[in-house]
Amino acid sequence: MRPTERFSSRADNYARFRPGYPPAAIALLEARCGLRPGAAVADIGSGTGILTALLLARGARVLAIEPNDAMRAAAESALGSEPCFVSIKATAEATTLAAASVDLLVAAQAFHWFDVPRARAEALRVARPGAAAALLWNERPARADAFLEDYEQLLLHHAADYARIRASRASEAGMRAFLGGTMECASFANEQRLDFAGLEGRLMSSSYAPEPGHPQHAPLLAGLRALFERHAHQGHIVFPYQTLVYFGSLRP
């Protein structure tokens, strides 16, 4: 399956159950990366619009670049009434944007799908002088708690693609190459509080989770239910994240 098609059947779960980004991370984009009212921001691999919505709330004009039809339709349904939202079917390597038209480029949970040299060439083409770029990730904390350790083992046992996709996540070297060598990184605490339906939806939003009809789908959900019952407190679990923001000027 091509990367641009991996989430076609998962757009609803992605929109409903993926975590957002903490206010401090968005404040960093304002303080260091040129996010401001009226700024033209290209959200590359914008998906269902989770980050896009936060940028719009800061007054930016957001050019949401998303090649997947289902993901883009979900964003259009949620954000189509926003006057500063522009939805574009395109890729990081060929955005269709005008040259020197963008003040800030961002990518949230999407950079690992980019062809880095081609995406950087396109970023340099569309960026205005002084433009910055930022790559955002919601990652699991370096020190996993008991819930995350059990969750990891569940995925390794039932999701054959999990280890391969985790290993293919973007390296710091790749991000530094895209950003142009001046990369900085900031980290922020983040979390979701989920009931079982939320935890199931969060899992099924992942491209590596076996879907209905796959022989591992039912065993995976049975294991998830057992995990939830072991770790839930008052009907919820806390799913912790470390939000990482890699950022820098595209032209040092």
Structural domains in the chain (count): 1
Cα 182 to Cα 137: distance, rounded to the nearest angstrom: 18
pLDDT at residue 168 in the model = 63
Has residue 53 got a pLDDT over 60?
yes
Q: Does 164 or 192 have the greater pLDDT score? A: 192
Q: CA 162, CA 165: separation in Å to the nearest integer? A: 5
Query: Which tokens go with 245?
Result: 């923001």
Within a domain: 164:
no
Q: How confident is the model at residue 181 (pLDDT cuts 50, 70, 90)?
A: confident
CA pair distance 110, 170, nearest whole angstrom: 9
Asked whether residue 231 is domain-assigned, the answer is no
Least confident of 2-6, 14-18, 243-247: 2-6
pLDDT(94) > 60: yes
Per-residue pLDDT averaged across 93-112, rounded? 97
Q: In a 3-state reduction of DSSP, which class is residue 38?
A: coil
Residue 232 lies in a domain: no
Task: Decide if 157 is inside a domain.
Answer: no
In a domain, 227, yes or no: no
Spatial contact of 105 and 40, defined as CB atoms under 8 Å apart:
no
What confidence score (pLDDT) does residue 199 get? 98
pTM of the model: 0.92
Q: What is the CATH number of the domain that holds 113?
A: 3.40.50.150
Residue 192 has pLDDT above 90, yes or no: yes
Q: Which range of residues forms the domain containing residue 48?
A: 3-142+171-193+239-249
User: What rounded mean pLDDT belongs to the chain?
Assistant: 94
Instruction: Name the token pair of 211.
Output: 């879907």
Residue 98 in any domain: the answer is yes
Alpha helices (runs of H) in the chain, residue ranges in sequence order? 11-17, 23-32, 50-57, 69-79, 116-126, 146-158, 162-167, 172-179, 196-204, 217-231
| Within a domain: 200 | no
